[in-house]
């Protein structure tokens, strides 16, 4: 093992990966996002707001935002300062407000008011990167895709499912290792990381995959 890799824990073996997968699917069979939404527009806006912000906070912000701007048509014509005011308790609200209005304009002008449901089109929208696009497709269409946020990154590394240093690299490892049921495994790892395998004080005593844990060390997603 090179010096560069030495600080990462042992990697899970093939049989262990299968067992971890089975356990996650059994314990989190029908998990969905904790963001509140009623349609694709609301889901897209909520996911864009959730970057570096908790789902709880986003759910506090969105009712008033959706009331004032019920669709891309209204949001495309919004006054930027009004949008900022409505989302100001969210991190990076200045940029997010700009992206939200620009996204709505693009949907109206280039997609005839219909939010595209393909990854390569979604990522063209302002403020929508691959992770955001994948989260939307996972949640809305059940697509066999993985998205790596800070929770998925931490869980993947603690279980020896990846030693990649970036979210993108971790996503590739998880896709290669799990292959199927990726959307369910994504939701499972988000919830497991958020409530059980927490960054600071993981609940190791009651952990469902304790047997396979390679490390009790915390890891932080980059990139
Ligand atoms: Fe996370 Fe602890 Fe379970 Fe390891 S044993 S996966 S650190 S909760």
Q: What is the pTM of this model?
A: 0.86
User: Which residue is catalytic, options 149, 163, 173, 177?
Assistant: 149
End-to-end CA distance of the chain: 24
Choose one of 12, 27, 207, 216 to mutate for the ligand 1 pocket test, by most ligand atoms within 8 angstroms of C-beta. Answer: 207
Q: What are the tens digits of pLDDT across the range 81-129?
A: 999 999 999 999 999 999 999 999 999 999 999 999 999 999 999 999 9
**Residue pair 40/140 in contact by the 8 Å Cβ criterion:** yes
Mean of the per-residue pLDDT values of the chain: 92
Question: 183: buried, middle or exposed (CB in 10 Å: 19+, 13-18, 0-12)?
Answer: buried
Instruction: Give the H/E segment covering residue 185.
Output: helix 182-195
Give the pLDDT of residue 217: 52
pLDDT for 216: 59
> In angstroms, what is the span from residue 209 Cα to ligand 1's centroid?
7
Determine the CATH number of domain 3-30+147-212.
1.10.1670.10
The domain limits of the chain are 3-30+147-212, 40-141
Residues 92/93/94/98 CA torsion (nearest 10 deg): 110
Distance CA 42, CA 205 (A): 38
CATH superfamily of domain region 40-141: Hypothetical protein; domain 2 (1.10.340.30)
Percent of the chain residues past pLDDT 70, beyond the cut: 92
| Catalytic residue flag (residue 196) | no
Q: How confident is the model at residue 31 (pLDDT cuts 50, 70, 90)?
A: confident
Task: State the Cα–Cα distance between residues 73 and 184, nearest whole angstrom.
Answer: 32
- Ligand 1, from 213, 216, 218: best to mutate by most atoms within 8 Å of Cβ? 213
Q: Rounded distance, CA 163 to CA 5, Å?
A: 8
Residues with CB under 6 A from ligand 1: 158-159, 196-197, 202-204, 207, 209-210, 213, 216
Which ligand 1 atom minimizes the distance to the CA of 202? 8
């Amino acid at each position: 093992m090179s010096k560069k890799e030495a600080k990462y824990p042992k990697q899970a073996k093939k049989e262990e990966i299968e067992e971890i997968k089975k356990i996650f699917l059994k314990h989190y069979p029908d998990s969905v996002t904790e963001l509140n939404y009623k349609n694709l527009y609301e889901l897209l806006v909520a996911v864009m707001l959730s970057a570096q912000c908790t789902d709880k906070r986003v759910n506090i912000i969105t009712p008033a935002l959706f009331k004032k701007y019920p669709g891309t048509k209204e949001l495309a014509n919004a006054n930027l300062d009004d949008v900022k005011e409505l989302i100001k308790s969210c991190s990076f609200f200045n940029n997010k407000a700009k992206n939200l209005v620009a996204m709505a304009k693009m949907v109206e002008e280039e997609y005839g008011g219909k939010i595209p449901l393909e990854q390569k089109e979604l990522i063209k929208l302002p403020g929508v990167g691959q992770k955001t696009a994948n989260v939307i497709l996972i949640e809305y269409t059940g697509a066999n895709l993985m998205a790596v946020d800070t929770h998925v990154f931490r869980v993947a590394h603690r279980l020896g499912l990846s030693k990649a240093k970036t979210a993108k690299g971790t996503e590739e490892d998880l896709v290669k290792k799990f292959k199927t049921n990726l959307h369910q495994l994504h939701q499972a790892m988000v919830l497991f990381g958020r409530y059980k395998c927490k960054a600071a004080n993981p609940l190791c005593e009651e952990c469902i995959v304790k047997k396979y844990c390679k490390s009790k060390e915390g890891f932080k997603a980059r990139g």
